[in-house]
Structure 1
Amino acid sequence: MRGIIAAVAHELRRIALPATLAMAAFSTGAAASANLIEAGAAQNQFYIEPSYDGTSIVLFGAVDRDRLKSEPFDVAVTLRGPVQPVIVWKKDRRAGLWVNSQRLIFDGVPNYFSVLSTRPLGEIAPVEERDRFELGIDVLSLPIRDEQKNPPSKLTRSEFEAALIRQKKAAGLFVEEARAIDFFGVSLFRTKTFLPAAAGPGLYVAHFYVLQGGKVVGDATARIRLRKIGIEARVSSAASEHPWLYGVIAVVLAAAVGGATSFLTGRRT
């Protein structure tokens, strides 16, 4: 792996990337290993403050082209956020009103999922290979909760999955971008994605894949954590540790604000 590290050092000097990026790249690939790709995140810790409205995640890496025998290859990167259950409702029209009639509970749905690649995913690998590594929103695993009564038919389930994906895409939480990876020289690459505020705190895992001839031939992983700090962290902690007290305080505050607003409005009139 010394050859690839030397190549990365040469490219970093040649294109004058920021010193912090260079140091991070070396720390990721400093130990000689058999990996075809070394990759990481420019920053592994992000913090949610009162003014937080999302952040950009910069991911980068280097590929050992010598081991690929100078044959064409592609790179794909997935970034997956905290998983949680999601309830999707289906509405029906009854007596002239739209009401919730059916629901499906999905387990282990990533709150955020993005796929960045050098080319459209369909041109990089067949669906069978992409399915193995969940390379694409269309092959993302969306398991349903086992204990649900009257499990839906395959057709009904696909309708709920499509609705879930539409909601996530509309909120900017499911993202797929082709030609979103830039190469600097022959080995070093970089990509960037935006993490909206709705993605929430937690652990995010980035998977990097090298693909050649329609197959994944190398991979690497990086972890990124998004934390709440200050008043945001205290409120969140209170809500999770003492939900009943948090609820009482929220109701009291809402009533106090409402009363104050009514009092001021009454005085003005």
Structure 2
Amino acid sequence: MRAILALFLLFAAPLMAEEVVLGLSKKNVSITANFDGSEILIFGAVKRETPIIEDPPLDVVIAVSGPLQPLTVRRKEKRFGIWVNTESVEIDAAPSFYAVATSAPFREALTDVEDLRHKVSIPRAIRSVGAPYNVQDSAAFTRAVIRIRTENGNYQLRENAVSLDQQTLFRTSIDLPANLTEGDYETRIFLTREGQVVSKFETVIGVRKVGLERWLYTLSRQQPLLYGLLSLFIAVTAGWGASTLFRILRQG
């Protein structure tokens, strides 16, 4: 038994020889009425049991994921001169925001097998169980989600964006768009060697509404009738105020 335990520790030791020590420029992001996006600096170091740096060199892969949400994707086609919905696919869970930054080209930093295991790439971060039998190309719906959210900055793949100095210190920045969803943003850091994960670290960045935004959000969830009446009152008051101002300007 001792011999088996010693052998196990011998093979397990290299897996724990390098670990991530992480830092964040901010652990929480506050969404206010004038929030127009934010930038988070992610930095850290590689902690080693010995000062010897092994070969081949390390790579760093960082993934930041917003809250998962179910999603319905519809296809539109033009029929008789009118655009109508024809087919739809239910996606079980798609991140509201997802960013991947790497110190090398993605496929060099992480093998396909490791990507499948940890679900790091954008397509594998989206969970879709199945599609209706009449939809032949369900994968096209997932690609459409990725394309649209990439265009508006909610999905990002930033290859060679992680600086790795002396195989020890790493840093990168992640741009958060203005249309963030409130919730916990899971942040994962992978150390890889020849595409294989040798160490993994996880933390959470909190994104919360504050001030007036927080109050309105809470009111809309807890007292929807009052929220609706308040919204109607604000709309009527704004309309009346604009009409009065326009009439005064015309008379002047």
The TM-score normalised by the length of structure 2 is 0.83
Quote the residue 2:190 is aligned against.
209
For 1:8-23, what aligned pairs fall within 5 Å after superposition?
A: none
Structure 1 residues 138-174: Cα deviation after superposition (integer angstroms, max 9, x where no partner): 3323225x8xxx7256743212111111111111000
Corresponding pairs, count: 233
Pick the aligned partner of 1:110 from 95, 99, 106: 95
Quote the residue 1:135 is aligned against.
120
Distance in 1 of aligned mates of 2:241 and 2:234: 10
1:56 matched to 2:33? The reply is: no
Distance in 1 of aligned mates of 2:202 and 2:100: 14
Quote the residue 2:211 is aligned against.
230
Q: Could you tell me how far 1:54 is from its partner in structure 2?
A: 0.9
Q: Could you tell me how far 1:43 is from its partner in structure 2?
A: 1.6
Distance in 2 of aligned mates of 1:259 and 1:156: 51
Instruction: State whether residues 39 and 221 of structure 1, in contact with CA within 8 Å, keep that contact through their aligned partners in structure 2.
Output: no
1:42 matched to 2:20? The reply is: no
1:69 aligned partner, one-letter code? E
CA pair 108-187 structure 1, distance change in 2 beyond 3 A: same
For 1:36-185, what aligned pairs fall within 5 Å after superposition?
A: 36-64=19-47, 66=50, 69-143=54-128, 151-152=132-133, 155-185=136-166
Instruction: State whether residues 50 and 231 of structure 1, in contact with CA within 8 Å, keep that contact through their aligned partners in structure 2.
Output: yes
Q: Please give the secondary structure, in 2, of the residue aligned with 1:238.
A: helix
Range with greater deviation from structure 2 (102-111 or 230-239): 102-111
Q: Could you tell me how far 1:184 is from its partner in structure 2?
A: 3.5
CA pair 151-40 structure 1, distance change in 2 beyond 3 A: farther
Structure 1 residues 89-135: Cα deviation after superposition (integer angstroms, max 9, x where no partner): 21111220112233323232111100000111122233222121122
Please provide the CA RMSD for this pair: 2.3
Distance in 2 of aligned mates of 1:195 and 1:253: 30
Q: Give ranges in structure 1 of 5+ residues lacking alignment.
A: 1-32
> Percent sequence identity over matched residues?
28
Distance in 2 of aligned mates of 1:210 and 1:249: 51
Distance in 2 of aligned mates of 1:248 and 1:142: 38
Q: Please give the secondary structure, in 1, of the residue aligned with 2:201.
A: strand
Distance in 2 of aligned mates of 1:188 and 1:113: 24
Instruction: State whether residues 23 and 44 of structure 2, in contact with CA within 8 Å, keep that contact through their aligned partners in structure 1.
Output: yes
1:253 matched to 2:234? The reply is: yes
Instruction: State whether residues 40 and 60 of structure 1, in contact with CA within 8 Å, keep that contact through their aligned partners in structure 2.
Output: yes
Distance in 2 of aligned mates of 1:257 and 1:164: 37
Q: Please give the secondary structure, in 1, of the residue aligned with 2:132.
A: coil
Q: Could you tell me how far 1:197 is from its partner in structure 2?
A: 1.5
The TM-score normalised by the length of structure 1 is 0.78
1:182 aligned partner, one-letter code? S
Instruction: Flag the structure with higher strand content.
Output: 2
Distance in 2 of aligned mates of 1:152 and 1:170: 30
Pick the aligned partner of 1:199 from 180, 185, 203: 180
2:43 aligned partner, one-letter code? F
Pick the aligned partner of 2:201 from 212, 215, 220: 220
Instruction: State whether residues 121 and 135 of structure 1, in contact with CA within 8 Å, keep that contact through their aligned partners in structure 2.
Output: no
2:30 aligned partner, one-letter code? Y
Which structure is larger by alpha-carbon Rg, 1 or 2?
2
